[in-house]
């Protein structure tokens, strides 16, 4: 999962992004509305956490732009104003959910995960062969045996399962599971795939398509 955090208070934005990364969620940051639109239209995000009161381009205009664009990201609006009218205005613009500041970080994470599960390919439980992934509980089993994975391993497996037999390149996996703060030229994906294979056990469920990427056939 990859999230864009749009917040003009840089310290708060960075804290939210760091907290999401600690939860195994790739998180990028934009500090104003213009940068938010640029990043959201270039990258594929599952959720945009969008502050309403932004410089350069107001959060309402950012929301309306993304709703009218090809972006399939779900939008979680943040605001310091908590009246019913404010919430209704945000939802009428096309936001999928609304959270009033100050908020508990655990609630923000729960709402982000809930929104991500609403995407067209996001079934709450994904099964392929003898692998079962409960996305809500972040639990994996194979042939009835629990498989303990770290957050990035869960992210890679999730993307391979969502592909439904299709191929995911290393670049695809890097973009979807990590974020712009990670070194693009590292062996991060290769190392994570190797650990995932080891934990899932034999027979190896992940097929390497040489020169193309990986898939779960």
**Average pLDDT for residues 69-90, to the nearest whole number?**
77
| pLDDT reported for residue 184 | 58
| pLDDT reported for residue 68 | 87
Residues of the chain with pLDDT > 90, as a percent, come to: 49
pLDDT at 70 over 60: yes
Mean of pLDDT over the chain: 87
| Structural domains of the chain ordered from first start | 2-116 (3.40.50.2300), 125-215 (1.10.10.10)
Burial of 192 (0-12, 13-18, 19+ CB in 10 A): buried
Question: For 104-156, what is each residue's pLDDT tens digit?
Answer: 999 999 999 888 877 654 567 889 999 999 877 789 999 999 999 988 899 89
**Strands annotated E in the chain:** 2-6, 26-30, 47-51, 74-79, 97-100, 125-128, 131-134, 139-142, 145-147, 207-209, 213-215
Q: Which of 149, 151, 150, 168 is nearest to 206 (CA)?
A: 168
Question: For 172-196, what is each residue's pLDDT tens digit?
Answer: 888 778 776 666 556 888 899 999 9
Least reliable range by pLDDT among 48-52, 82-86, 163-167: 82-86
| pLDDT reported for residue 122 | 56
Query: What does each C-alpha distance from 22 to 85, 103, 137, 178, 215 come to in angstroms?
Result: 34, 18, 16, 11, 26
* pLDDT band (50, 70, 90) for residue 211: confident
Q: Which residue has the higher pLDDT, 93 or 169?
A: 169
């Amino acid at each position: 999962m990859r999230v864009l955090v749009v917040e003009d208070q840089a310290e708060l934005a960075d804290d939210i992004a760091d907290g999401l990364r600690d939860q195994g969620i790739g998180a990028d940051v934009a500090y104003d509305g213009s940068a938010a639109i640029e990043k959201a239209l270039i990258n594929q995000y599952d959720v945009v956490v969008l502050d309403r009161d932004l410089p350069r381009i107001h959060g309402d205009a950012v929301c309306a732009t993304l709703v009218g664009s090809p972006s399939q990201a779900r939008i979680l609006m943040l605001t310091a104003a908590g009246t019913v009218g404010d919430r209704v205005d945000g939802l009428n613009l096309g936001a999928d959910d609304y959270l009033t500041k100050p908020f508990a970080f655990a609630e923000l994470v729960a709402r982000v995960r809930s929104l991500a599960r609403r995407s067209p390919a996001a079934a709450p439980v994904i099964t392929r062969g003898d692998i079962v992934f409960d996305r809500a509980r972040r639990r994996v089993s194979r042939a009835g045996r629990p498989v303990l994975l770290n957050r990035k391993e869960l992210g890679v497996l999730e993307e391979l399962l969502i592909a439904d037999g299709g191929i995911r390149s290393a670049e695809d996996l890097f973009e979807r599971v990590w974020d712009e703060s990670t070194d693009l030229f590292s062996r991060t994906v290769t190392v994570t795939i190797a650990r995932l294979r080891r934990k899932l056990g034999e027979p190896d469920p992940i097929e390497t398509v040489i020169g193309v990427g990986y898939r779960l056939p």
